[in-house]
Structure 1
Amino acid sequence: MDILLLGLNYKTAPVEIREKFTFSDDSTARALHLLSQTKSIAECIIIGTCNRTEIYVVCDQLMAGRFETRNFLSGWFGVDKDEFQNHLYVKENEAAIEHLFRVTCGLDSMVMGETQILGQVRDAFLLAQQHETTGTVFNTLFKQAITFAKRAHTETGIGQNAVSVSYAAVELGKKIFGSFDGKEVLIVGAGKMSELTAKHLHTNGSSRVRVANRTLERAQLLAEKFQGDACTMEQLPQALLTADIVISSTGATGYVITKEQLKPIMKQRKHRPLFMIDIAVPRDLDPNIHDLDNVYLYDIDDLEGIVASNLAERSKEAERLEGMIREEIVAFTTWYQTLGVGPLIAALREKALAIHNDAMRKMENKLPNLTERELHIIRKHTKGIINQLLHEPVVRLKELAAKKDGDEVLETFSTIFALEEILKRNEQEANWEAEKKKHLSDREQVLMPQRIGQGN
């Protein structure tokens, strides 16, 4: 069995392509059921976010797995393969495993180290488990990846320090105020960056937002997003009296607020701290404002400097994480490579037990006068001999199976002990049980899309 990943993300596909491959909450379960019924696919998990769509499968043949998964994507979304082929990335076995670990701990995210993706991977795994499209391989792999990601964020600084201008503003504000609870935000202008910064401040506890703009109608539209109020630029001095945080981003060619304008306002405020963020280019806020007591002024260069510094810190942590990921990959691949040992050991013990039972039966026939106690002692000691005889071969088998030629070792071991028939029978029984579990009820069949494209 092989592990295969097919996906599109923000690095490989523009948004106009990614948006064609979006699984809704309702359709993902149906898609999992359909994909799991596909020939060659033994297990499957679908991860869908605004920045990526990834399908992980366990398949019996890589070529067949690639073919079937591409066909599934094309059919489910009704998009010709030629439209997305060049945007699709395909990773196999160890490369797919490594990619999953990188995604789950945030190394592959647009914002390095973000934690939201961990929850999205966990939800995707739990959904697949719920609908029984995972098995031994993915239950182990995804649990390991999720556990590792939690440890990575706890033991490293990969998720610490702001790496966007808007988050950097929030970080600076926390150093000044400690908490944003009850703080009032004044947005000067209606720029997108100001809106985003205000959103983060609002999320972090700022209770009131006011928007000042030359066009009152535009100010009102932005203020409504935060359940705030609006005012004109003429009312700006009055708004500055009550504001705790000012974010300015207008298209003005000169300063919107000067030191001379703000100085008397600060006196009326009784020098209550004022946090000012100038995101405009050219600048809206007179840099000399910085000289006023209790005024904390930052421009776009200050914020971008913080972001660059924090990105450098995260990059250092990322290097550390790469080493941790290598250790996780080795641990999983060692387990995965020895996965085939279990059925062999079971078959060997089954054969040894059958030989032992047959020998005991013949002994009882030839020595009918043996008491139950004597038979018990003989049975116990002869079984002990068998266990001792099998112990070393089993230990060596596990060691050899983890090496590169592990598959050949397993095949040779099976041939030496003539286990082929038992393995074949046990596999058939396991497949039969699996098919019973995978078989959909009549009701589930009705709930499936009438044609594959309806999953969109």
Structure 2
Amino acid sequence: MAGLGITGPAAVLLVGLSFRSAPVPVLEKASVSPAELNRLERDLVGGDCVTEALILSTCNRMEFYVATSAFHPALDHVVDTIAAHAQMDAVELEPYLYVRYADAAAEHMLTVAAGLDSMVVGEQQVIGQLRNAYTSASENGVVGAALHDLTQRALHTGKRVHTETRVDEAGSSMVSFALDHALAELGVEDMTGRDAVVVGAGAMASLASTYLGRSGVRHVTVVNRTVARAENLAAHAREAGVDADAVGLDELTSALRGADVVVSATGAVGTVLSHDDVVATQTERPRRMVLVDLSMPRDIDDAVVDAGAEVRLLNIEELTALAGDGARDESAARDIVATELAEYLEQVRVQSVVPTVKALRRRAADVVDDELGQLVRRTPGMADDDRAEVARTVRRVVDKLLHAPTVQVKKLSSQDGTVNYAEALAALFNLPSGSTSVVSQSIEPGDAGKARIGNVLQQDTGAGQVPAAGAADSTSSTNSTISTAGTEEAS
């Protein structure tokens, strides 16, 4: 596809917003439906400076990863693309955004995949969500080497964390976290003798159905726009020993009769469960009823709480408050992330000198060919066998002379990220421009104000900071206020 031929290695830029940095209404505007995802991915690589793109979308996280060799225009392009999608002015959106770049972007993705940046620490769903994001972008033709390598490393890291540590036991998935609080609202320890409705038939709805079954629910009604998908989920529930049936979305009001817990997790745009729906069922049978909204945009109208004193709504904002920061023992998991990050960055640094090494060897080959050509002209009487032997000798000499510096530049690059050995090699041998990365990966945070991100105070330090205007490219940018507030994830 156009744009994937950028010269030199690209760095990863992350622009994101989450429940930590943005209110739910803003997250809802920026959320991406499955129907919009492919188009938005292509829009992200539409700029000359962006060569790859991947969008991680969850119920309270929107993160846009791109590969670029020109930081400032890439940042402008990504922010403008997000703003256009969200139908917001860029200046209105920017205060809610955080930016990670190069090493910091890599560390962030690994931390997210490990479940350590989640609303509920240790949840595993984000691994599947990241895998789906990669699959979508790959099938859409917008993933290249940079995002492929980073995503695969992140998925591997997440798997290691959940296999080798007990961080899962410290937290839980957003579904179980939410339903635990739903049971608390009902004043019971389990769902024995109680009924539930699950709206939706995707992964979140499936998890909710499974959790309700384990909690001893008496009956589950699965409601979905496509009845066949609802029936498929209900069939799985029955196979697990849970009494379940399936109905279409047009029968939602009827399905609510008698339900003690309602979990909604759809990909719908707009309200699925209204105030009138709940009023109807409460009028027929007043009771304690807990509604759990795990979707973004929200499925359940906030006004349902006015349907009766016994109606309780748990949505993303409420669950965020309930989750809190929750100090947990995460040291083993974070050690794994640190180890994997170090190995990944070493791999990236080695790869960053490859174009320069290739350029050096091409330069040497050109010099050899030129000299051998002159030899042919100057020695017309030399036998072909002799010329061939001279050519082999010259090439061996050049190869031996280049062997040590090319091996050493890779070794030194892997050990030291503070010196750009590729640039040094290119300067020493006067290699053509474009044979090294044009992206600066270590910029002081105080310089950030010269770029579009305005007066941002980066949370990360050293490598991964936002480049000063002109440090990574020559494009000047407008001055605004993108925040680098923390991050999140849950469903």
Shift of 1:33: 0.8
Shift of 1:94: 2.1
2:212 pairs with 198, 202, 222, which one? Answer: 198
CA distance, structure 2, for counterparts of residue 111 and residue 320 of structure 1 = 17
Number of the residue aligned with 1:157: 166
Query: Is the 2:195–2:259 contact (alpha carbons within 8 Å) kept by the matching residues of 1?
Result: no
Number of the residue aligned with 2:258: 221
Distance 1:168 1:73, change over 3 A: closer
* 3-state SS of paired residue (1:159): helix
What does residue range 126-165 of structure 1 map to in structure 2 within 5 Å? 126-160=135-169, 163=172
Question: 1:352 corresponds to which letter in structure 2?
Answer: A
Number of the residue aligned with 1:62: 71
Shift of 1:23: 0.7
Number of the residue aligned with 2:194: 187
Number of the residue aligned with 2:243: 208
1:31 aligns with 2:66: no
Query: Is the 1:166–1:196 contact (alpha carbons within 8 Å) kept by the matching residues of 2?
Result: no
User: How many aligned positions are there?
Assistant: 321
Query: Is the 1:38–1:68 contact (alpha carbons within 8 Å) kept by the matching residues of 2?
Result: yes
What does residue range 109-128 of structure 1 map to in structure 2 within 5 Å? 109-128=118-137
CA distance, structure 2, for counterparts of residue 96 and residue 389 of structure 1 = 38
Shift of 1:361: 3.0
* 3-state SS of paired residue (2:141): coil
1:13 aligns with 2:50: no
What does residue range 360-439 of structure 1 map to in structure 2 within 5 Å? 360-402=372-414, 403-407=416-420, 409-420=421-432, 423=435
CA distance, structure 2, for counterparts of residue 162 and residue 350 of structure 1 = 54
CA distance, structure 2, for counterparts of residue 390 and residue 197 of structure 1 = 62
Shift of 1:48: 0.8
CA distance, structure 1, for counterparts of residue 173 and residue 360 of structure 2 = 59
Question: 1:377 corresponds to which letter in structure 2?
Answer: E
Which of 323-332 and 410-419 deviates more? 410-419
Distance 1:189 1:333, change over 3 A: closer
Shift of 1:405: 4.4
CA distance, structure 1, for counterparts of residue 374 and residue 122 of structure 2 = 68
Query: Is the 1:18–1:53 contact (alpha carbons within 8 Å) kept by the matching residues of 2?
Result: yes
Q: Deviations over 1:34-76 (max 9, x none)?
A: 1101242222211111121110122333333322222111112
Query: Is the 1:170–1:200 contact (alpha carbons within 8 Å) kept by the matching residues of 2?
Result: no
Distance 1:30 1:223, change over 3 A: same
TM-score by length of 1: 0.61
1:355 pairs with 367, 384, 406, which one? Answer: 367
Q: Deviations over 1:160-186 (max 9, x none)?
A: 466489959999xxxxxxxxxxxx941
CA distance, structure 1, for counterparts of residue 12 and residue 179 of structure 2 = 42
Number of the residue aligned with 1:47: 56
Q: Deviations over 1:234-272 (max 9, x none)?
A: xxxxxxxxxxxxxxx969xxxxxxxxxxxxxxxxxxxxx
CA distance, structure 2, for counterparts of residue 168 and residue 126 of structure 1 = 28
Number of the residue aligned with 2:300: none
1:322 aligns with 2:331: no
Number of the residue aligned with 2:474: none
Distance 1:46 1:422, change over 3 A: closer
Shift of 1:366: 4.1
2:100 pairs with 72, 91, 94, which one? Answer: 91
Distance 1:166 1:321, change over 3 A: closer
Number of the residue aligned with 2:188: none
Q: Point out where structure 2 has 5 or more consecutive residues left out of the alignment.
A: 1-9, 181-190, 198-207, 218-236, 246-253, 264-286, 290-322, 437-491
Higher RCO (Cα < 8 Å, 6 or more apart): 2
Shift of 1:81: 3.1
Shift of 1:115: 1.7
TM-score by length of 2: 0.57
Q: Point out where structure 1 has 5 or more consecutive residues left out of the alignment.
A: 172-183, 211-216, 227-248, 252-307, 425-456
Shift of 1:419: 1.6
Identical amino acids, percent of aligned pairs: 24
